[in-house]
Amino acid sequence: MAMQNLRQFLFALSAAGAVGFVAIIFVLRWVLHFKEGLAWDGGLAEFNWHPVLIVIGFVFLQGIAIIVYRLPWTWQCSKLMMKFIHAGLNSAAFIFAVVALVAAFDFHNTAKIPNMYSLHSWLGLLAVILYGLQLVIGIGMYLIPLTPVSWRAAFMPIHVYSGLFLFTSVIAVALMGITEKLIFGLSNPKYKDSPPEAIFVNVLGLLLVVFGALILWIATRTPWKRPSDQILHTLHTNGGSEDITKAGPALSELADGTNTEDGDVRRRSNKLDNLDD
Amino acid sequence: MAMQNLRQFLFALSAAGAVGFVAIIFVLRWVLHFKEGLAWDGGLAEFNWHPVLIVIGFVFLQGIAIIVYRLPWTWQCSKLMMKFIHAGLNSAAFIFAVVALVAAFDFHNTAKIPNMYSLHSWLGLLAVILYGLQLVIGIGMYLIPLTPVSWRAAFMPIHVYSGLFLFTSVIAVALMGITEKLIFGLSNPKYKDSPPEAIFVNVLGLLLVVFGALILWIATRTPWKRPSDQILHTLHTNGGSEDITKAGPALSELADGTNTEDGDVRRRSNKLDNLDD
C-alpha cells in the first residue's frame, strides 16, 4: 500500500474504531444510567441485555469481522489464519445476537407482551437466521478443504454481497429497535418531549449509522484489499482472461512495507492456491 | 453482455420492477383503504402524502435512477443523455422527498406535535439534505463541461459510494417511519395485537427491503455495467497503469447486440473522452 493510501486507511480505521467504541459506551450508559441496569430476571433489566449485546456483538464485532482482511499488518499472516479470525469473529457476533434475542423473548413472555408482531422483530429474526445461514455456508465453502476451488470463486461475489447486506440490515433493524424502545420506554416526559434520554439515544443511533458508513467504505475500497484479493478482483473484472503476470501493481505494493519473501509473493499471486489455502 | 448474463440481468431487473411496483400499490392501499385517504388539509390525510411520496419518489424513483446506466438497450445512447436521465430521475426523487417532508411538518404544526424529536426525523432530514448536496455536487462534477476530467475521475468512487449509501439510508429511515406510524396510528387494536393493517404494513416494509437488495445487487455487479464504465473500472482497479487497448473483453461485449459503429467503440474506449462527454 502506498504511503498516502496507508495514511487514509489508518484514518478511516481509527475513525471506525473510535465511533464503534463510543457507541458501545453510549448503549452501556443508556441501560445503566437512564434505564434499569442489567440482570437476568425476566424483567426490564433482562431486556436491556438486548440492545447491549446487539451493539457490541451484532454491530461492532460483525463490523470488525468484515474488515479484518484489510488490516495491512495481517497480510504477512496466512490466508487460512485470517479466515479463522473472520469466521471466529462472525461466530461470536452470531452468539451475541442469539442471546440478545433470548433476552427480548424472555422479557416479552414474562410481561405477557406478544412476540414477533413488529416489523423490527420480523426483520431482526430474518437477519439472525440469514446470518446463521451465511456463517454455515461460508464455513462449508471456504474452510472445508474438500470444496472445489471453482465453487469458491463462483460463490465469492454472493458471499461478499450477502455479508455487507446483512451488516447494513442489522444496523437498520437496530435503528428501528431504538425507535420502538424510546416510544414504549419513555412516558412523562414522552419521546416527543425530547427528554435527555431521547436525545442521548438518538445520538447512539447516529453513531451506529456513522460506524456502518465507515465499515462499508473500508470494505469496498479496492486499493485497500489484501493484495492477493486485489489480484483476484482484477481477474474477475477482466473475466479471468488476463495473464496472471499482468497483475503487477498490486503485488509491487505488497513488497513495499511487509517482509514477504519473493517465493511468498509468487505463492499469493496464484489464484487457485489463494482460494485453496 | 453474454446471453446467460443478460438473462440473469433481466430477471433481477424484472424482480426489482415488480417488487417496487407492488410496494407502491401497498403504500397506496395503506393510506386509501386502512387510513384517512389523501388530501392537503393539514390533517392526517395530508400526513398520508408523506409515506406515499417517499415510497414512490425517494425509494422507487431513486432506485431506478441508480440502475439506469445498467439497461443494455441504453448503451447505444450517448453517455451525456444517460447522465441527464440519471440526474433528472434523482431530481424528481428529491422533489418528492421535499414535498413529503412538507406534508409531515404541516401535519405536525396543525396538530401541535413537536417536529424533529425522533431518530427517524433526524436521519430523514439528514438524508434529504445530503441527497440534495449529492445532486448539486453530481451536476457540478459531471454535467458542467468546465470540470477537469481528473476531478471527475477522482470523485467517481465517492459519488458511487454516497449514492448507494444514501439509497440504503433512505430505506432504513422509511422502515423507522413505518414503525413509528404503526405504533402511533393503531389503537384498539394496537400494533402488538397484530390487526390486519399491522401485518399489511409490515409486508410493505419487507417489500422495501427486497427492492433495496435487488437495486444494490444490480448496481454492484461489474459485468452488468455499461461497457465504457467496465473499462474505467478495470483501469481504476489496476491503478490506471494498464494500456487502454488491453480492455478488450468489455468492448467485445459492446459490439454484441448494439448497432454501434467501430468509430463509436473507439470513442467510448477513451477514458478521458468518456468522462468528458
- N-to-C CA span, chain B: 23
Closest CA–CA distance from residue B209 to any residue of chain A (Å): 9
Contact predicate A73/A257, CB 8 Å: no
A249 to B233: CB separation less than 8 angstroms, yes or no: no
| Residue A191 touches partner B, C-beta closer than 8 Å | yes
Confirm or reject contact between B221 and chain A (CB < 8 A).
Answer: yes
pLDDT at residue B166 in the model: 98
d(CA A256, nearest CA chain B) in Å: 16
The stretch A15-40 carries a mean pLDDT of 98
Task: Please report which confidence band the pLDDT of residue A2 belongs to, taking 50, 70 and 90 as the band edges.
Answer: confident
Contacts from B29-32 at CB under 8 Å and sequence distance 24+? B29/B200, B30/B197, B30/B200, B30/B201, B30/B204
Q: In this structure, what C-alpha cell is assigned to residue A193?
A: 418531549
Residues A118-138 have pLDDT tens digits of 999 999 999 999 999 999 999
User: CB A165 to CB B241 under 8 A?
Assistant: no
Measured distance CA(B129)–CA(B141) in Å, rounded: 18
Query: What is the pLDDT at residue A232?
Result: 58
More confident residue, B1 or A102: A102
- Mutation target vs A (from B176, B191, B236, B251; most A CBs, 10 A cutoff): B176
Cα B72 from Cα B6, distance rounded (Å): 8
Q: Which 161-180 residues of chain A touch chain B by CB within 8 A?
A: 161, 165, 168-169, 171-172, 175-176, 178-180
Task: Give the pLDDT score at A268.
Answer: 40
In this predicted structure, which of A3-7, A88-92, A257-261, B81-85 has the lowest mean pLDDT?
A257-261
Please say if the pLDDT value at position A140 is more than 50: yes
Tell me which chain B residue has its CA closest to the CA of residue A121.
Answer: B202
B151 touches A: beta carbon within 8 Å: no
Enumerate helices (H) and strands (E) in chain B, giving the number of each.
Answer: 12, 0
Torsion sign (Cα): A6, A8, A13, A15:
positive
Percent of chain A residues topping a pLDDT of 90: 81
Question: What does the buried/exposed string (b/e) look like for A139-164 if buried means 16 or more CB atoms within 10 Å of the residue's CB?
Answer: eebbeeeebeeeebbebbeeeeebbb
pTM of the model: 0.87
Higher pLDDT, A8 or A231: A8
Are B182 and B84 in contact by the 8 Å Cβ rule? The answer is: no
Query: Residues B38-77, buried b or exposed e (16+ Cβ, 10 A)?
Result: beeeeebbbbbbbbbbbbbbbbbbbbbbbbbbbbbebbee
Residues of B in contact with A165 (CB under 8 A): 213, 216
What is the Cα B168 distance to its own chain's centre? 9
Average model confidence (pLDDT) across chain A: 87
**Half-sphere exposure (Cβ direction) of A180: Cα atoms closer than 13 Å:** 21
Q: State the average pLDDT over residues A33-56.
A: 98
Question: Side chain identity at A160, as an amino acid letter?
Answer: V
C-alpha span between B259 and B44 (Å, rounded): 53
C-alpha–C-alpha distance, residues A207 and B51, integer Å: 26
Tens of pLDDT, residue by residue over A169-192, are 999 999 999 999 999 999 999 999
pLDDT tens string A211-220: 999 999 999 9
Instruction: From first to last of the 277 residues of chain B, give the pLDDT tens digit.
Output: 788 899 999 999 999 999 999 999 999 999 999 999 999 999 999 999 999 999 999 999 999 999 999 999 999 999 999 999 999 999 999 999 999 999 999 999 999 999 999 999 999 999 999 999 999 999 999 999 999 999 999 999 999 999 999 999 999 999 999 999 999 999 999 999 999 999 999 999 999 999 999 999 999 999 999 997 766 555 555 444 333 333 333 333 333 333 333 333 334 444 443 454 4
CB contact under 8 A, A248 and B237: no
Supply the pLDDT for residue A257.
37
Helix (H, G, I), strand (E, B) or coil at B40: coil
CB burial class (10 A; 0-12, 13-18, 19+) of residue B154? exposed
Indicate if the pLDDT at residue A241 is higher than 50.
no
How many angstroms separate the CA of residue B237 from the nearest CA in chain A? 6
In chain A, pLDDT over 70 holds for what percent of residues? Answer: 83
C-alpha distance from residue B96 to each of B50, B54, B147, B181, B192 (Å): 9, 7, 29, 19, 31
Asked if the C-beta of B193 comes within 8 angstroms of chain A's C-beta atoms, the answer is yes
Across the interface, do B241 and A249 touch by the CB < 8 Å criterion? yes
Whether A235 shows a pLDDT value over 70: the answer reads no
Of the candidates B122, B168, B242, the beta carbon closest to that of A168 is on B168
